[in-house]
Chains A and B, each alone.
Chain A
Amino acid sequence: MLGKTAGGLYWMFRFLERCENTARLVEAGFRIALTRSNDPVSEWKSVVSTAGARSNYDAKYDTYEAAYVVDFLLRDTANPSSALSAVEKARTNARMVRTALTTEVWEAVNEGWMGIKETLKSPIKETDLPAVLGEIRRHSALVRGALHGTMLRNDIYDFTQIGLALERADNTARIIDVKYYTLLPSASFVGSTLDNVQWETILRSVSAHRSFRWLNDENMTPSSVADFLILDPRFPRSLSFCSRILEESLGFLAKDYGARFTCHDMISAQRDKLREHTIATIFDEGLHQFITAYIDDINAIGQQIEKDYRFIG
């Protein structure tokens, strides 16, 4: 496979995942803004931070109004990680690697791009927002489904999974990072509606509120939420899960190509680190420090993969 193709597959799935994550963030923000007990401005602000778009946003707007934030995160092409920018880039990468995709996957991406572009043509009215966000997630699911059902499990598939897992890990980690203070055990908050709403938002922004309930009954404590998002091996957006997918996919490549590179050692080291921790030791060490280190690791691994597999010359 061409190095460029591997890079195209990787970025295609990073951007697809980013598009979906952005939609989910907006959805969580929208819900919390609807609950009056809260401060919507700071809520939208943290949504923009989580999307990694603070500086771009502040350059354009002075206030964190729902309509502005929603528009900026979904439609604004000046925002490189808006849903529209992301789907556009995903589709451009898909065109570049067209020969590596099955017709089903290509058509799902192309149709998703056509549909989302059409839907986001004009500003979204508040009443239409849930339907629009639903459509974005649906397109994303269609691509994943086509991928799952039609692609050979070879190096092409591995690079898609690597892109997806990296983006997802980065996204979950950033959600935790922006909200880490609400997850810190603090006597004054416990049991208040405020922190419950906060945790609920966090879970919603990774589509995990239901899964969490199934696993934890009524026991919603900061440490159980953090444990779930970081260490639960069953939850497909937890850091532990994403790191496992990364290590596995890189492992398949190593076996397929008969060669291990630096990126393999890096991901193994990261997984070892995750395995050594419990949520208690993470809190002891400092949640914020732990997450920041994780994000740095993940980004370094991404850059190493680009080098090891010759994405660019």
Chain B
Amino acid sequence: MEPIISVNNVSMRFNLATEKVDSLKEYFIKLTKGSLKFEEFWALNDVSIEVMPGDFYGLVGLNGSGKSTLLKTIAGVLKPTKGSVTVRGTIAPLIELGAGFDMDLTARENIYLNGAVLGFSKKFMDEHFQEIVDFSELHNFLDVPLKNYSSGMVARIAFAIATVTDPDILIADEVLAVGDYTFQQKCEKRMKQLIDNGTTVLFVSHSIEQVKSLCNKATWLEHGKIIMSGDAQTVCDEYSKRY
């Protein structure tokens, strides 16, 4: 079977400008003086993972270990400096919910806009509009500008839109930490449902217990390098021993 996601020797470099150069004049002055320095920072260093269809794949590591960067290269947001990423299938990114919401627009308008951002067609959105509204339970507030919403309500719509398709791959970065308890339950249920339908999940969480209970495979990242990859149980146990 072919892996649904293959990350091959990916490295990601960021330039941390030691002195922030924001204007052309400064740039040329610095350039002529030869003092245009960049401090290189490798957020990912030669990372390779393979995710098979149907996997529930966990990523563990401390803050700044490169988990989110890795997810972003997979989602296509970042292009790796070295190496390649191949994804065979559609992705529903739950990286940061509500990207592309415009607070001045109403919920109804935002549902369409956000759907468009995720690459859905108008026909698809028309067909699934009711489903999104039902899931997020916002019937009475559809024509209210989003800026009058609470953050929990915004998160609900975002989750509902992002999971309305049956994506091949679901990228979830600590999303389950939003909303009240009942909504969290609902999100988990929806994710379970997706997995039963054969969706592959890439999951990032700081809760090692959550990773252990949900995932079958895991990778442990530290300072942009893979420390360990493999069976979720083993990786999590090793990780727990260390911290």
Pair from one complex: no
Residue positions of B touching A, CB distance < 8 A: none
